[in-house]
Amino acid sequence: MKVFILAVLFLFNIMTAEVFSLIEQDTFDLSFSQYKDINFQVTEEMSQDALLRGNVQIFPRTASIELILFHEDDYRRWKGTGEDVDTLTYMYITSEPFEIEPPGVGDYILIVSNKSDYLPVAVIINLDHHFTRTDPEELLPAAFKFTHLIIILVAISFSIGTFIIKHFSRS
């Protein structure tokens, strides 16, 4: 019975599992006051519990970088005219993991900027978009899917149990 309960919990966890997609895995050099832009999109299917998780390694180790998240249209306006625009997130980090929550569905640009001690830096970045799987075309809510899963597992368990009892009772 314990194995059955663990199997059900495991399968339920798979049904609502967190998924991720790789956005960027790159190594690049940034001179002082230079930046690199990383484009990504959060679609409706990828918006539930959306989170950017990344890890940055910076050389030299004493250096730091800025991470700035923009909506794409704000970034284009800032880049084109230089006018002040709203930023969604600003972080000043050294070599460490980081997390950023995009505010919802849309096109975004993450700026990796070097404003550190007037020195050039080498940056290694790994950036993933984590989210909870949702299927907008799915008509059954999660509770109904879970109920159907339980019914199927009970039927399979009953079938296996019946087969084992019949097989051993003949011996």
**Under 8 Å between Cβ of 74 and 107:** no
- Each residue's pLDDT tens digit, 106-123: 999 999 999 877 789 999
pLDDT band of residue 164 (cuts 50, 70, 90) is confident
What band does 171 get if pLDDT is binned at 50, 70 and 90?
Answer: low
Tokens of 108: 């975004």
CB 135 within 8 A of CB 46: no
Whole-number pLDDT of residue 161: 85
pLDDT bin (cut points 50, 70, 90) of residue 142 is low
Q: Please list the alpha-helical segments (H only) found in 53-141.
A: 72-81
Q: Which comes out higher in pLDDT, residue 73 or 169?
A: 73
DSSP assignment string, 130-143: EEE---TT--S-HH
Specify the range with the lowest mean pLDDT, choosing from 13-17, 81-85, 96-100: 13-17
Residue (of 48, 54, 49, 50) closest to 110 by Cα position: 54
Q: What is the pLDDT, as a whole number, of residue 76?
A: 92
Burial grade of 52 (CB within 10 A; 0-12, 13-18, 19 or more): buried
pTM over cut 0.85 = no
The secondary element (H helix, E strand) that includes residue 167 is helix 142-170
pLDDT of residue 25: 86
Confidence of residue 141 (pLDDT cuts 50, 70, 90): low
pLDDT in tens, 145-154: 777 778 888 8
